[in-house]
A = this chain, B = another copy of it.
Amino acid sequence: MNFVKEHRVKPGEKLKLKSLDTKTKGPFEDKEAAKQHTAKMVRQIQDLQYKMFVEDKQSLLVVLQAPDAAGKDGLIRKVLGQMNPQGCRTYPFKVPSKKELGHDFLWRIHKCTPEKGMVSIFNRSHYEDVLVVRVEDIVPKSVWSKRFEVINHFEQGLALAGTTILKIYLHISPEEQLERFKKRYDNPEKHWKLNPGDYTARSKWDAYREAYQEAFERCSTDAAPWFVIPADHKWYRDASVASIVAQTLSEMNPQMPKPDVDLAEIKALYEAELAKQQT
């Protein structure tokens, strides 16, 4: 199955998020089969990411957005964070600081885009500035509605400079979210995650869905596509995202650089050292 094709929002496509499945099992017979597939994809990702790191010519940006409890943290831990930490950084974007608010909304984002050879993972992102900001009425429509175009130009600029961009939305049903809230409540180890605000956001489910929908429709571009990932099953979420990242890295086709040294010179240096050591 081609997970990229399956879940990619086509540029210009009209989206009905409400009617997109959250529960698919895709081609997997069961959880175990999906986990095996994920493990295989993670090994491919590790191999390709290492090549990209050494090649030092292009970079990858993975943007994650999702309702609360949809599984961003689990996905990072089990899939994306399995990359070599020397070539991969995760950036959380929380409520902006006073200093950050003193700048345009892309200022804090731009500082975290990946340099050549590197992967950046954004846990939330500049999309909050057309999502939460819109639903909670933090900035007026006259401001946020102009940001879609600003975002597209920004992302095209990154792409032109050699950054491949994947934007992943974890799509869960409100029923599954409530189930997960319950699990947090039932497990004292997870009590620190409890927050009445989760229920406030939940009460605005339709408004958020509308905001997501417009963001995906207007900002899924060839340079920076959005993917809507059915995420009620954690194992499908992991398997499909791992596949999309692996396929993307594979298409980036990173190449180990040819040595730019004289091999004969290195050999001579080695042999001289060996001789010195043996005397």
Tell me if A191 is interfacial: C-beta within 8 Å of chain B.
yes
Cα-based distance from A132 to B175 in the complex (angstroms): 59
Would you call B175 and A265 a contact (CB within 8 A)? no
Q: Which of A174, A270, A274 has the most CB of B within 10 A?
A: A270
Residues of B close to A80: CB separation below 8 A: 85
Cα-based distance from A277 to B77 in the complex (angstroms): 31
Encode A262-274 as 1/0 by CB contact (under 8 A) with B.
Answer: 1101110110011
Tell me if A195 is interfacial: C-beta within 8 Å of chain B.
yes
Would you call B85 and A256 a contact (CB within 8 A)? no
Would you call B85 and A175 a contact (CB within 8 A)? no
Tell me if A101 is interfacial: C-beta within 8 Å of chain B.
no
Question: Which of A86-94, A137-145, A152-160 forms part of the interface with chain B?
Answer: A86-94
Would you call A85 and B121 a contact (CB within 8 A)? yes
Would you call A196 and B54 a contact (CB within 8 A)? no
Residues of B close to A86: CB separation below 8 A: 73, 76-77, 81, 90, 92, 123
Cα-based distance from A140 to B202 in the complex (angstroms): 63
Min CB distance A276 to B, Å, is 9
Tell me if A95 is interfacial: C-beta within 8 Å of chain B.
no
Q: Quick one: which of A154-201 are within 8 Å of B by CB?
A: 174-175, 178, 181-182, 185, 189, 191-192, 194-196, 199
Would you call B273 and A194 a contact (CB within 8 A)? no
Cα-based distance from A202 to B273 in the complex (angstroms): 9
Would you call B174 and A277 a contact (CB within 8 A)? yes
Residues of B close to A92: CB separation below 8 A: 86
Would you call B175 and A277 a contact (CB within 8 A)? yes
Min CB distance A135 to B, Å, is 18
Would you call A259 and B90 a contact (CB within 8 A)? no
Chain A contact residues, CB within 8 Å of chain B: 54, 73, 76-77, 80-81, 83-86, 88-90, 92, 121, 123, 174-175, 178, 181-182, 185, 189, 191-192, 194-196, 199, 202, 256-259, 261-263, 265-267, 269-270, 273-274, 277
11 A–B contacts from the bound complex (CB under 8 Å): A76-B86, A77-B84, A85-B89, A178-B273, A181-B270, A185-B263, A185-B267, A191-B263, A196-B265, A196-B269, A199-B270
Give the top 7 A-B pairs by smallest Cβ distance, nearest first.
A81-B85, A191-B259, A199-B269, A85-B90, A192-B257, A86-B90, A194-B261
Given contacts A194-B263, A195-B261, A202-B273, 8 further A-B contacts (CB under 8 A): A85-B89, A189-B256, A191-B259, A192-B256, A192-B258, A194-B259, A199-B270, A199-B273
